Amino acid sequence: MNTIRIDASRSYDVVISSGLLAEAGRRIAALTGKVRAMVVSDDRVFPLYGETLTESLRDAGLEPAQFVFPQGESEKNLATYGLLLEELCRLRFTRSDLIVALGGGVVGDLAGFAAATYQRGIPFVQLPTTLLAAVDASVGGKTAVDLAGGKNQAGAFYQPALVLCDTDCLRTLTEEEYRCGCAEIIKYAMIGSPELFEELVQTPVRDRYEDVIAACVAMKRDFVQADEYDTGARMLLNFGHSFGHAAEKCSGYTLPHGLAVAMGMAAMTRSAAKAGLCPPETAEALEGLLRAYRLPTALPYSAEALAEAARADKKAAGDRLRIVVPEAVGRCRIQSIPAGELLLWLKRGGAA
């Protein structure tokens, strides 16, 4: 078992181990007492784990309710968010009660944003069930829903009260979900750990889930504690995301986030190598590792379409865009570029 303490505007533990779902009620009740708990999940995850969680909550003296919505990024919108708020209001949840997010990044983002805004804030707990959510989305307090104009355009920084990562839940991942999580893990290695990068080369992630998740969470802890509101060093966690988010938007959000990040990292690193900002070997090493995990390395949309989508990203500031540029495996930097240069960066990265 690994327990990582995060000291931000709200301090909390991230616990990583097998068997945590059955212990969730006891661990949550120790923090909140015997209150009501709204379990927020999607219609793929809840049939798998909802009963175990609900029984655990009930056995610990909490009173569970549930809000289950259709799975998928397209459901992370204002309409679903509004329905969740209305259900909390209908059941007369108060700030003494809490929300429990059971699922991947979409569930955690939606539930967290509802927790941040319902009655100006009620506690919430993250129970990530995907690898991507375990290593990234469930930690750090970024909550949001998507708007027609872009991903995560309405949101809040709001830290959870607790994160319980039960590695047993990863047994039901599809191969695509596994690969998406691996893309985010490779991101962490690229921005700050050549040692993790080499470990990923030598040993598959699924052979050492707990250790890999703990390593990524510990890295994210350091970024969050230094820059909770994402105005400085924490932006390094966006490596691959400027191009990746643009690809997601071009796909109508049918392209899974992890696959988009893989494409974005590869394209950005190729572009940096061609500009002389990193050695060609860096791009070769990254693409080799991505291919080893069966992750895509090419952007499937035109440079013009991607540039237009990227300009609407929240990382844009006026007529400039902040991008994360690799310098070597394990070292990246943040660079501000004129929006007009984005097309060049994309074309150097291989976009047609």
pLDDT in the model for residue 311: 80
Do 54 and 181 sit in the same domain of this protein?
A: no
Could you identify the residue written with the tokens 């002389």? 276
For residue 146, the cross-strand partners are none
- Output the six-digit token pair for 58: 């009930």
Buried b (16+ CB within 10 A) or exposed e, 61-72: ebebbbbbbebe
Do 272 and 334 sit in the same domain of this protein?
A: yes
CA distance 216 to 10: 20
Regions of the chain where pLDDT drops below 50: none
Are 323 and 337 a contacting pair, CB within 8 Å? yes
In Å, what is the CA distance from 91 to each residue of 38, 77, 95, 112, 236? Answer: 10, 22, 13, 18, 41
What's 107's domain CATH number? Answer: 3.40.50.1970
What's 323's domain CATH number? Answer: 1.20.1090.10
Domain that holds residue 149: 2-172
pLDDT in the model for residue 150: 83
Number of domains in the chain: 2
pLDDT in the model for residue 338: 93
Question: Would you put residue 169 in left (φ > 0), alpha (ψ -120 to 50) or beta?
Answer: alpha
- Output the six-digit token pair for 143: 């909550």
Do 179 and 167 sit in the same domain of this protein?
A: no
pLDDT in the model for residue 212: 98
In Å, what is the CA distance from 342 to each residue of 48, 75, 328? Answer: 43, 30, 21
Judge whether 195 lies within some domain.
yes
Do 24 and 120 sit in the same domain of this protein?
A: yes
pLDDT in the model for residue 313: 65
Q: Phi and psi at residue 178, in whole multiples of 5°?
A: -60, -50
Provide the total of helices (H) and of strands (E) in the chain, helices listed first: 13, 12
Judge whether 265 lies within some domain.
yes
- Output the six-digit token pair for 322: 């902040």
